[in-house]
Chains A and B, each alone.
Chain A
Amino acid sequence: MALDIKCEIVENRFISGITWLLRLKAPEIAKEAKPASFVMIRGVEDYQYDPLLRRAFAIADIDGDDILIFYDVYGKGTKAITEKKAGETISVLGALGNNFFPEDYDHYVLVGGGIGFAGLSLLMKDLKQKGKSFTAIYGVRRKEQLSMLDWIKENGFENDVIIYTEDGSYGKKGLVTEDLEKIATKHHNTMLAVCGPHGMMKAVANLAKEIDIPCYVSLESRMACGFGICIGCVVKDTEKDSYVRVCYEGPVFDASKIEL
């Protein structure tokens, strides 16, 4: 059951590039959240109408009663959130989403692009806790966009994540798809979990199709509500030839069954 809660901000700070980190005290949401769960946040006061709508963010990590959100600042909705200070409260609706990553594979290959890695970090933690075998790939254009690098180190995932930068300024040079075929075909009963920019997800999904490996994508979309009532955030279900809601039937979908 999702709740609309005024959460206390524990921390809200700039990380790098255009990315900020928001740590919220949200015990109810922390208890409910699963990998790929998301929240809808409104950074302005109740009586302020511009920006009007909440913004959707993946829950990147759960730390006791706290949830962590890494967010890119693009427009007025996210800008408003940066102006909130620790100790203040902010309106949070969550935990949202109804469809998550399958749990019955032997090996997981996580592919995160840019801020999309924050949509997979909780899955990575979950897999490690459950003792499951996985490989994580984190790709960005330039080094300063590796906003989750500190988190990766602090949480002891350095040896689990392969980092790619397009300009070669950190880790391996190239795109996340660079060695993906080799990585994804190394273990039996493997699935891909993908989150990132549209073009990247499409490229990974296409490759997955070619090498015949199941691929699940965690999508983001323009959302007005985040809990299924506006029918605005749809993606095409190619099997049923109908539009399904990213927020309600998702956010995770089998890439072979939707139009990316």
Chain B
Amino acid sequence: MKTEMENNEKKVLEYELFGLKFKNPVWTASGCFSYGLEVARLYDISQLGCVVIKGLSLKPRKGNPPERIVETPAGMLNSIGLQNPGVEKFAEEILPELKKYDTKIFANVFGEDEEEYLAVAEFLDKTDGVHGLELNVSCPNVKKGGIAFGSDPETLYNLVSKMRKLTKKPLLVKLSPNVTNILDTADACVEAGADGLVLINTLLGMAIDVEKEEPILATKTGGLSGPAILPVAVRMIYQVYEKYGSEVPIIGVGGITTTQDALQHILAGAVAVQIGTANFYDPYAPLKIIEGLKSHVLKKEYEHYLRLVGKAHKLKIK
């Protein structure tokens, strides 16, 4: 009897998306989880719905010089600069270890130009153990690539269309909030055949050292993340869901520390959520949120969490 109840409890968070079965809608965000193995020393990462690994480029990238991070009110700025070992080294040295965990693995794809983006995607398409791709066109901390591709709808459309032809794996696009209208870039991705949208990447910001009288980060500007950006993410998810409803799956990311925060994303329209900066100050946050969502769904007597997705839209503003 107890086992049956436990099974049902487990099932309230299981879902299928892009032809993949996810244990729960709690993912970890790219750039906030390295390649998973460091966290595997703290807890069993098989408990996660999905791990989105740190951005990969074709060739290794050194990343930006320090200072790379600075704390801000209820948030932080980072300018890591996509330091990574390159996609081949990742596949040879890191993925075999990561694959041992029973979770889904999505790779964050980065390039300085279109050619590199496509080469990384092509490589990962053929890489067993990588279940899906998350296109990074929103990193604000690199001179070339990143946000340059994510802020212009036409450039974005071209890149996503070409990548779509290269891979049958689920293709998500992580959008930048540093745009005037999020629907312009969202539309471009949907038209180009993206399977889903990830909302939002970091907001461009700056912090100044008042003693030294200069910006703290070596690159001057960086990406703002953490609780401070929660309402921005919720608003953008809401906007995109309002237009596309459940037609285009949205993965929510931005400012989630607690179950309540994750629920805001879900109620705005996110079918899954990614936990980012919270991993830094509360390493067990994703696990707490998995448990918290389960309890919330059961307490509210829903048969499944999917009943909550986009539910905040029931009130139409006239």
Contact A229 B257 (CB under 8 A): no
The complex places the Cα of A205 from the Cα of B228 at a distance, in Å, of 41
B146 to chain A, nearest CB (A): 16
A-side binding surface: helix, strand, loop or mixed? Answer: loop
Q: Scoring B residues 164 to 191 as 1 if CB is less than 8 Å from chain A, else 0, what string do you get?
A: 0000000000000000000000000000
| Complex interface: stretch among A16-24, A50-58, A119-127, A152-160 | A50-58
Known: A228-B34, A229-B32, A248-B38. A4 touches B63 (CB 8 A): no
How many residue pairs link A and B with beta carbons under 8 A? The number is 102
Contact A49 B74 (CB under 8 A): yes
| Complex interface: stretch among A30-38, A134-142, A188-196, A235-243 | A235-243
The complex places the Cα of A7 from the Cα of B192 at a distance, in Å, of 52
A33 to chain B, nearest CB (A): 16
The complex places the Cα of A219 from the Cα of B83 at a distance, in Å, of 21
| Complex interface: stretch among B98-106, B274-282, B302-310 | B274-282
Contact B74 A231 (CB under 8 A): no
Contact B283 A227 (CB under 8 A): yes
Known: A42-B281, A53-B281. A243 touches B71 (CB 8 A): no
Known: A2-B42, A3-B42, A242-B62. A52 touches B284 (CB 8 A): no
Contact B80 A49 (CB under 8 A): no
Contact B74 A222 (CB under 8 A): no
Most chain B CB inside 10 Å of its own CB: which residue of A52, A93, A222, A243? A52
Contact B283 A230 (CB under 8 A): no
A234 in the interface (beta carbon within 8 A): yes
A234 to chain B, nearest CB (A): 6
A260 in the interface (beta carbon within 8 A): no
Give every chain A residue within 8 A of B67 (Cβ-Cβ): 222
Most chain B CB inside 10 Å of its own CB: which residue of A1, A3, A53, A77? A53
Number of residues from A at the complex interface, CB < 8 A: 34
A177 in the interface (beta carbon within 8 A): no
B73 to chain A, nearest CB (A): 5
Contact A93 B78 (CB under 8 A): no
A79 to chain B, nearest CB (A): 13
Q: Scoring A residues 235 to 260 as 1 if CB is less than 8 Å from chain B, else 0, what string do you get?
A: 11000011100001000000000000
Known: A49-B74, A52-B75, A53-B71. A227 touches B281 (CB 8 A): no
User: What are 28 A-B pairs with beta-carbon distances under 8 A?
Assistant: A4-B42, A4-B282, A42-B281, A49-B74, A49-B227, A51-B71, A54-B280, A221-B66, A222-B66, A222-B67, A223-B69, A224-B277, A224-B280, A224-B281, A225-B283, A227-B42, A227-B283, A229-B38, A230-B280, A231-B34, A231-B68, A233-B68, A233-B69, A234-B68, A236-B65, A241-B62, A242-B62, A248-B38
**Interfacial residues, chain A to chain B (CB-CB below 8 A):** 1-4, 42, 46-47, 49-54, 77, 93, 221-225, 227-236, 241-243, 248
